Amino acid sequence: MYIAGALHGYEIFVEGQFYRFITSMFMHSGAMHIVMNVLSLYMIGQVLEQLFKPLTYLAIYFITGIIGSLLFLYINDDGQAVGASGAIFGMFGALAGFAWVHRKTMHDEFMRFMRSFGIILLINFALGLAIPEIAMSAHIGGLISGIISGIIMAKNPNHLWAYLVGSSIFIFLSYNYIASLYATSFLLH
């Protein structure tokens, strides 16, 4: 998987293999990993496709996946990861952000949603603590950036360009910061 494009800090920050941010989202460590991600994406995707335009949906998916990967690489300086979980958590976060913006019109539906959402998060975090191979930092990065994305796009559904510009600037700054940490660490070794 390393050769095929798994997420790996040295290759991204020192060798400049930026494509790994994308390729790693389409790679999985086994049958159970891909089945769980496909089922999760299928369940959340059906809902989000009704709430967001197709380009917005894709933008949130890739942006939250990349942000989740950046947080993973920041915390795990020599780690390697594969999977779409950061982006999938981003989609769950986007749904939560959307629900938060529309909570007054949703009333009881919002409360039911938040209870279900909380249960899903607790189960996933418990699994993450129980299984050390799970990249919890990518999940957290995807979730937080997804909540922010969902809030932004629910309030301003026609401002995809502003979301893309703002997200790109954030990713660029985060990338440069983490790359400087890698360069310093590389020089010290």
> What DSSP state is assigned to residue 25?
G
Both tokens of residue 148? 């922010």
87-99 pLDDT, tens digit each: 999 999 999 999 9
- Cβ atoms of 30 and 86 within 8 Å: the answer is no
pLDDT for the residue numbered 187: 62
Catalytic site includes residue 85: yes
Domains of the chain: 7-188 (1.20.1540.10)
Neighbours of 60 (CB within 10 A): 29
Residues in the chain: 189
Q: Is the pLDDT of residue 51 over 80?
A: yes
Calculate mean pLDDT across residues 35-45: 87
Check 8, 24, 40, 139 and give the catalytic one.
139
Q: Is the pLDDT of residue 7 over 90?
A: yes
pLDDT for the residue numbered 184: 80
pLDDT for the residue numbered 115: 81
> What DSSP state is assigned to residue 16?
-
Check 40, 85, 149, 167 and give the catalytic one.
85
pTM: 0.91
Catalytic site includes residue 185: no
CA 148/CA 29 separation, integer angstroms:
29
135-161 pLDDT, tens digit each: 899 999 999 999 999 999 999 999 999
